[in-house]
Amino acid sequence: MDPIRNPYAPGAGQRPPELAGRDEQLDAFDVVLERVARGRPERSVVLTGLRGVGKTVLLNTLRSAAVRAGWGTGKLEARPDQSLRRPLASAVHQAVRELGPSGGAGDHALGVVRSFAQREPEGGGRGRSAPRLKDRWNPGIQVPAVAGRADSGDIEIDLVELLTDLGGMAADTGRGIAVFVDEMQDLGPDDVSALCAAAHEISQSGLPLVVVGAGLPHLPAVLSASKSYSERLFRYSRIDRLDRSAADAALVRPAAEEGAQYAPDALDAMYAATGGYPYFVQAYGKAVWDRAPGSPITVADVDVARPEAEAELAVGFFGSRYERATPGEREYLRAMAEVAAATTGPSGAAPDALPGGPADEPEAVPTAEVAARLGRKPQSLSPARDALLKKGLIYSGERGLIAFTVPHFGRYLRDHT
Ligand SMILES: Nc1ncnc2c1ncn2[C@@H]1O[C@H](COP(=O)(O)OP(=O)(O)O)[C@@H](O)[C@H]1O
Ligand SMILES: [Mg+2]
């Protein structure tokens, strides 16, 4: 069918034509906004899940909901080895601009953002050098910095002061501020702990400011290792693959907008191929649309398009990640895939394994078994494992266990490498 009218959107952070199966999270967030705006105690939301399940697009959608509610919003993406200070300063700067407070209150808020921003150590790195006041990075704020506020150099003190002042300003305007942090697991330990402390302080004082996070499945463990009270600060929402009806809706509704339909057995074949993982749904939807001669889309069209969809995933989803690993790390990944495959089967498969679909593998495998498979001592593999953790290719939700952050990665490795 006409590729120009192809509605599907495979790609990191690409807004899907239909955001399927996320009503629960959207409704819960509306309640958070309403309660926080009224000064009621409420836990903020943290979205967790594997890569490609739709955390970023959901986070963006929550941000839109906050904007519609009249809140000031800002967003940042955490990166390993990058300090929180500058990206957070930019995000809250944006939020203050969106709120547009007039006169003195606005100037004070911007001045505090500026003084917070200017305590950045040189180079923007973590712990490389002591903060230097001379390093006057200009965050693009015209009003003068408020000396003595949020500029001690201690990130925890500074964050509490920054967010308290901004929350107070938001309260005066009768609205709120929401700060969105994607890839939250990549924040450094000091920054995580400071962010939790600040969020804690803010929630206790009933100020209308929330921090909304998204990250890999082990993010709750990262947060609770940092501050034991983090479970009371955030409500964790696991974002997962779509169930059958949501996966169908993600395909059927955008097609209907363009006047096209799917035959029922085509939808069966699509779900078997994608497992309901949103990235796979979009990749298959796109390839099948381009290959199908007309509506309705049939199971034969799915079969014809399969190699193209898999090739697109091999490059765009799997390959781009695999390429980040060194030869030694790749060996480790392959060993993980082999251990996972050896554990699959009627007894090892996840209880929700798809009938007729790819068998689901256990989520996590023991590091000791990976080492045994490679015939190596576990300690000698720590550098490879740590590097893979840092590159975000694997995660450890529990001591002694590791898992791929990318769904179906084991199968990709066994088939392509
Ligand atoms: N609820 C959904 N319904 C349909 N497609 C979705 C949904 N959520 C995400 N997608 C699609 O999945 C892909 C991955 O989304 P993204 O937000 O980047 O995932 P993550 O941040 O979890 O890695 C994108 O192509 C997006 O359009
Ligand atoms: Mg993302």
Query: Cα of 347 to ligand 1 centre, how many Å?
Result: 31
Q: What is the pLDDT of residues 111-144, one digit of tens each?
A: 999 999 998 665 444 544 444 554 556 678 888 8
User: In the chain, where are the structural domains located?
Assistant: 3-11+242-321, 23-238, 326-416
Task: Give the nearest ligand 1 atom to 281 CA.
Answer: 5
Query: Cα of 78 to ligand 2 centre, how many Å?
Result: 11
CATH classification code of 23-238: 3.40.50
Query: Cα of 57 to ligand 1 centre, how many Å?
Result: 6
Residue 323's pLDDT is 94
Query: Cα of 65 to ligand 1 centre, how many Å?
Result: 17
Q: Which of 282, 284, 318, 320 to mutate to test the pocket of ligand 1 (most atoms within 8 A of CB)?
A: 282
For ligand 1, atom 6, name the residue with the nearest CA.
278
The torsion angle over the Cα atoms of residues 145, 149, 155 and 161, rounded to 10 degrees, is -120
Q: How far apart are CA 373 and CA 377, in angstroms?
A: 10
Overall average pLDDT of the 402-409 stretch: 95
Whole-model pTM? 0.92
Residue 135's pLDDT is 53
Nearest to 117 by CA among 97, 81, 146: 146
Residue 68's pLDDT is 97
- Which range, of 121-135, 198-212, 400-414, averages the lowest pLDDT? 121-135
Q: Are 179 and 88 in contact (CB under 8 A)?
A: yes
Residue 7's pLDDT is 98
CB burial of 293-317 (b: ≥16 within 10 Å; e: otherwise) equals: eeeebbbebbeebbebbbebbeeeb
Q: What is the pLDDT of residues 279-300, one digit of tens each?
A: 999 999 999 999 999 999 999 9
Q: How far apart are CA 181 and CA 56, in angstroms?
A: 10
Query: Taking 90 as the threshold, does the pLDDT of residue 328 lie above it?
Result: yes
Task: Give the nearest ligand 1 atom to 22 CA.
Answer: 1
Overall average pLDDT of the 82-93 stretch: 96
Instruction: Give ligand 1 pocket residues (Cβ under 6 A).
Output: 9-14, 16, 18-22, 49, 51-57, 250, 278-279, 281-282
Reported CATH class of domain 326-416: mainly alpha
**Residue 356: pLDDT band by 50, 70, 90 thresholds?**
very low
Residue 363's pLDDT is 79
Query: Taking 50 as the threshold, does the pLDDT of residue 395 lie above it?
Result: yes
Overall average pLDDT of the 33-58 stretch: 94
Closest-lying ligand to the alpha carbon of 57? 1
Closest-lying ligand to the alpha carbon of 26? 1
Query: Cα of 104 to ligand 1 centre, how many Å?
Result: 41
Residue 360's pLDDT is 56
Residue 121's pLDDT is 63
Query: Cα of 56 to ligand 1 centre, how many Å?
Result: 7
